[in-house]
Amino acid sequence: MLCRFTENTKKAKNKLMWQRPPLKGSYDAVIIGGGLHGLATAYFLARNQGMNHVAVIEKRYIGFGGSGRNTAIVRANQRTKENLPLYAEGLELWPKLTDELDFNLMFFNCGNLNLAHSEAALGSMRLLVASAQFHGIKSELVDAKQCKEIVPILDISDLPTYPIMGGMYHPPGGTVRHDAVVWGLARGAARLGVHIHQGTEVTGINVQNGKVTSVETDKGKIHTPRVLNAAGGYSTLVSAMIGIRLPVHVLTIQAMVTEPLKPILHHVVSSGAYHCYANQTLKGEIATGAHMDPWPNYTTQVSARYIKHQAEALTDLMPCLKGVKFMRSWAGLADMTPDMAPIIDGNNPIQGYFMDCGWGYFGFKSGAVTGKYLAEFMASDQCPDILAPFTLRRYENHKLMGEIANPVNYGPWN
């Protein structure tokens, strides 16, 4: 028995996805948060910027947060010209990354169908479609009949609470295996020399003369001139260490899967009116996501209300799904901003402090490409044009982004 294990272990050393190196006293960059954004930035720092002496600090295990809890939908049909190019490039990156990391990220290019249940919703979708088309991204408006041709299990009669009037079909979108992205990037980064420290908690960030000097962790102090806050739902807590407040509401968003079925849903379907999106995973589960509990908390607990709501919504839209069972539900933290666009900034006002947060529940789609540009930003101290609109300053400049049209209903202040 024992020899079997040692044999296993010996074999293992060269197979390891990532090593468990000891924490060093200094790194060129410290990335807080071992999720998709942090790992992608680390990977691209090492790969594109020649900065290999990088540590990724993760309090739990990699992919513990939003990266492992999202429903893995990718698309590039954003509303504004600031967001579109980033998401479009992000979408093109998945096949490339798969090849580059030699790790199958399982990009399922199934296309996304977003349902409209009113004339007004169709108008809003036209804005998205026209904008996408202007940027050369495939997207089209379809009527209810076409919706049914694309997704035959939809009910396009008048029976649902919100009858389907049409939709927006976005063929380049789909899903990516979220865990694979995290593990692929972690392996890629580790092979390029990045140190991934799981089970390590950042407890403070030290600044001298307006510059980042070091990071305190529960395993020791790390000297570094650059820190990236990529802590997702916990980013306001990290930010507080350095005295920067963020326009972020930490809410929990829930998702659930059904028992596995043979293929029946071949696209990502979503509906704003129902607060509902669904797709069938490679394993055959219908993965679906839902509402947010509208009060901030860090529990990642699910609630009874939304799994029920989700069942009502899904079976209204796709009545055959009444015969399927929910088998698992979970929740993740979403760091929501008032304008549903992320905050990407750096050296402002503290030299060497970078932030990549406020991604809410849409941080998965363009996480990898953001890492690429963020790595450029961190290495060169020059913010790439594509990231410039996401500055934190936009709030005090009274120029919220138009990624969402109407004020988000987080509370009575809007």
Rounded to whole angstroms, how far apart are CA atoms 214 and 208?
9
Selected binder of another protein within 240, 381, 382, 388 (CB under 8 A): 240
**114 lies in the site for another protein, by CB under 8 A:** no
Selected binder of another protein within 171, 225, 272, 319 (CB under 8 A): 319
Q: How far is the CB of 196 from another protein (least distance, A)?
A: 10
Helix axes 84-101, 178-191, angle to 10 degrees: 60
Comparing C-alpha atoms, which of 47, 34, 72 is closest to residue 188? 47
Q: Tell me, what DSSP letter sits at residue 26?
A: B
Rounded to whole angstroms, how far apart are CA atoms 284 and 257?
10
* Span from 28-36, 218-226, 291-299, 370-378 in contact with another protein (CB under 8 A): 291-299
Selected binder of another protein within 307, 348, 351, 384 (CB under 8 A): 307
| Structure token pair of residue 37 | 């954004």
Span 328-367, contacts to another protein by CB under 8 A? 328-331, 338-339
Binding mask 368-397 for another protein (x = CB under 8 A): ---------------------------xxx
Selected binder of another protein within 200, 217, 310, 347 (CB under 8 A): 310
Span 66-95, contacts to another protein by CB under 8 A? 68, 80-81, 95
Selected binder of another protein within 42, 261, 271, 388 (CB under 8 A): 261
Select 339 or 356, whichever has its Cβ closest to another protein. Answer: 339
Selected binder of another protein within 143, 192, 219, 260 (CB under 8 A): 260
Selected binder of another protein within 46, 57, 74, 125 (CB under 8 A): 125
Other beta carbons less than 10 A from residue 290's beta carbon:
26
| Structure token pair of residue 1 | 């028995």
Q: How far is the CB of 363 from another protein (least distance, A)?
A: 16
Rounded to whole angstroms, how far apart are CA atoms 396 and 286?
42
The answer to whether the CB of 36 falls within 8 A of the CB of 367 is yes
**407 lies in the site for another protein, by CB under 8 A:** yes
Comparing C-alpha atoms, which of 77, 177, 182, 170 is closest to residue 131? 77
Select 321 or 375, whichever has its Cβ closest to another protein. Answer: 321
The answer to whether the CB of 184 falls within 8 A of the CB of 152 is no
Selected binder of another protein within 264, 272, 351, 389 (CB under 8 A): 264
Span 135-164, contacts to another protein by CB under 8 A? 139-141, 152-153, 160-163
**299 lies in the site for another protein, by CB under 8 A:** yes
The length of the chain is: 414
Span 176-235, contacts to another protein by CB under 8 A? 177, 179-180, 183-184, 198, 234
- Which conformational region is residue 104 in: left (phi greater than 0), alpha (psi within -120 to 50 degrees), or beta? beta
* Maximum CA extent, the chain: 69
- 379: Cα separation from own chain's centroid: 23
